[in-house]
Structure 1
Amino acid sequence: MTDQLTTARAQAPADRITFLRDGRRFLHLLVRGALLQLVTFGFYRFWLTTDLRRHLWSRTALNGENFEYTGRGRELLVGFLIALAILVPIYLVIFLIGLWLEQLRAFSSLLLILFMYLFGQFALYRARRYRLSRTVWRGVRFWMTGSGWAYALRAFGWQILVVLSLGLVYPWYARWRESFKMRNTYYGDAPGAFEGRGGQFFKRGIGLWLLTVGGLIALLAGTAAFDWIKLAGDEKDLPIAATFGYGAAVVLWFIASLIAYPYFRALEWRWWAQGVRLGNVSMNSTLRGGQFLRLYLRTIGWALLLLIGWLIVGALLALIVHLGLGDLKLLMSETAGRMKSPGIFHIAILVAAALFYLLILMSFGIVQRFFGMHEIWRAVVESLTVAGVASLEGVAQRGDAASALGEGLADSLDIGGF
Structure 2
Amino acid sequence: MSFVPQQPPPLPPLSVTFSGARSEFFRLVSRGAAIELITLGFYRFWLATDIRRHLWVNTSVDGDSAEYTGRGKELLIGFLFAMAILVPIYLAYFLVTVEAERYEGFASIPLLISFYAFGQFAIYRARRYRLTRTVWRGVRFWMDGSGWAYAGRAMLWTLLAVLTLGLAWPWRAAALERYKMRHSHYGDLRGDFEGRGWEFFKQAWYLWLIAPFAILLFPLLPFVYAQFKAVEWRWWLSGIRFGGVRLESSLPVNAFHGLYWKVIGWFILLSLVYVIYLGAVIALGMSLLGLGKDGLPQAQALATQMLLVVAMVPGYIALILAVNVVMRLYLVRDMWAVALDSVRVYGIEAMANVAAKGDLASALGEGFADGLDVAGF
Q: Same fold (TM over 0.5)?
A: yes
Asked if 1:84 is matched to 2:79, the reply is no
SS at match of 1:13: coil
Higher helix proportion, which one? 1
> How far apart are the structure 1 equivalents of 2:99 and 2:280?
53
CA contact (8 A) 2:20 2:54 kept: no
Asked if 1:405 is matched to 2:364, the reply is yes
In the other structure, the counterpart of 1:416 is 375
Alignment of 1:316-327 (within 5 A): 316=280, 325=288, 327=290
In the other structure, the counterpart of 1:116 is 115
> How far apart are the structure 2 equivalents of 1:307 and 1:395?
51
> How far apart are the structure 1 equivalents of 2:112 and 2:357?
38
Asked if 1:295 is matched to 2:259, the reply is yes
Q: What displacement does 1:171 show?
A: 1.7
In the other structure, the counterpart of 1:362 is 321
Do the aligned partners of residues 118 and 102 (structure 1) sit closer, same or farther apart at CA in structure 2, a change above 3 Å counting?
A: closer
SS at match of 1:16: strand
Tell me how many residue pairs correspond in the alignment.
Answer: 368
SS at match of 1:141: strand
> How far apart are the structure 1 equivalents of 2:98 and 2:268?
44
The counterpart of 1:310, out of the listed 274, 280, 288, is 274
Identity of aligned residues (%): 46
In the other structure, the counterpart of 2:128 is 129
C-alpha distance after superposition, 1:181-218 (max 9, x if no partner): 000000111100011122222222222222325x69xx
In the other structure, the counterpart of 1:394 is 353
CA contact (8 A) 2:281 2:308 kept: no
Letter in structure 2 aligned against 1:79: G
In the other structure, the counterpart of 1:16 is 15
> How far apart are the structure 1 equivalents of 2:355 and 2:307?
61
Please report the TM-score for the alignment, with normalisation by the length of structure 2.
Answer: 0.89
In the other structure, the counterpart of 2:4 is none
CA contact (8 A) 1:332 1:345 kept: no
CA contact (8 A) 1:95 1:108 kept: no
> How far apart are the structure 2 equivalents of 1:266 and 1:101?
43
Gaps of 5+ in 2: 1-9
Asked if 1:280 is matched to 2:241, the reply is no
> How far apart are the structure 2 equivalents of 1:380 and 1:271?
11
CA contact (8 A) 2:245 2:347 kept: yes
Alignment of 1:46-65 (within 5 A): 46-65=45-64
In the other structure, the counterpart of 1:224 is none
CA contact (8 A) 1:205 1:264 kept: yes
Asked if 1:380 is matched to 2:344, the reply is no
CA contact (8 A) 2:16 2:59 kept: yes
CA contact (8 A) 1:97 1:105 kept: no
> How far apart are the structure 2 equivalents of 1:120 and 1:147?
14
CA contact (8 A) 1:263 1:290 kept: yes
CA contact (8 A) 1:126 1:406 kept: yes
> How far apart are the structure 1 equivalents of 2:221 and 2:131?
34
Alignment of 1:161-176 (within 5 A): 161-176=160-175
> How far apart are the structure 1 equivalents of 2:232 and 2:100?
46
The RMSD of aligned alpha carbons is 2.6
Letter in structure 2 aligned against 1:268: E
Q: What displacement does 1:174 show?
A: 1.4
Which deviates the most, 27-36 or 182-191?
Answer: 27-36
Q: What displacement does 1:345 show?
A: 5.2
CA contact (8 A) 1:16 1:62 kept: yes
> How far apart are the structure 1 equivalents of 2:247 and 2:36?
38
> How far apart are the structure 2 equivalents of 1:332 and 1:62?
74
> How far apart are the structure 2 equivalents of 1:312 and 1:120?
39
The counterpart of 1:261, out of the listed 220, 225, 230, is 225
CA contact (8 A) 1:332 1:346 kept: no
CA contact (8 A) 2:174 2:197 kept: yes
SS at match of 1:351: helix
